[in-house]
Amino acid sequence: MTKEAHTLWPSEAAVSDVVGRLMEFWGFKRNMGRIWAVLYLSVEPRSAEDLRETLKLSSGAVSMTLSELLRWGVVRKVWVQGERKDFYTAEVQLWRMISRVFSERERSEIKFAIEAFEEALAELDVLKRSDDAKTRERATLQYARIEQLLELSRLGQKLLDALLATAKLDAEPLVRFLLGREKSPSSSHVS
């Protein structure tokens, strides 16, 4: 790649920074968002060295970040004819990418919360039958409030399951329709 290809346009730098900030907000490393965004906006696959030079990161940081992005399925290795090094591209179907993360991360957190709330309710159920009035009062109040948290978690699980069920289909045309947008250039086909 030429030196010019290693320089981000202002729009690329801005988007890379914003996606990095969003990823950090959601508990991922900022560089995961930055590298993914650069790949997402790239016309051609990029090598780890290209990404290192473009984003001014260490080789180790790029390597570790690419490994994590590969594990999450949001980037993939591609073969470039005549090249020995690995090249990478971003997952461009945003709905598929988001649903994969939700499926692996949020689903397990909701399941954990439901199990913890159910265990707490079982313990409180015993305390609600205590001979001590203050213990019964405290246990009854906590039981009712944890029951609400459990109901909310179960609702969240149902919503997430429904959301992920739509990911089996390509939901992007529906999203574009609902947002009132035309087909994106990357999804148009030449007949």
Model confidence pLDDT, tens digit, residues 108-126: 999 999 999 999 999 999 9
Q: What is the rounded distance in angstroms from the CA atom of residue 139 to the CA atom of residue 63?
A: 51
Contact 140, 128 (CB under 8 A): yes
Please tell me the predicted confidence (pLDDT) of residue 191.
36
Model confidence pLDDT, tens digit, residues 37-87: 999 999 999 999 999 999 999 999 999 999 999 999 999 999 999 999 999
Please tell me the predicted confidence (pLDDT) of residue 169.
58
In this predicted structure, the answer to whether residue 92 has a pLDDT above a threshold of 70 is yes
Predicted TM-score of the model (pTM): 0.72
Q: What is the mean pLDDT of the chain?
A: 89
Residues in Cβ contact with 30 at an 8 Å cutoff, skipping those fewer than 6 apart: 20, 21, 23, 24
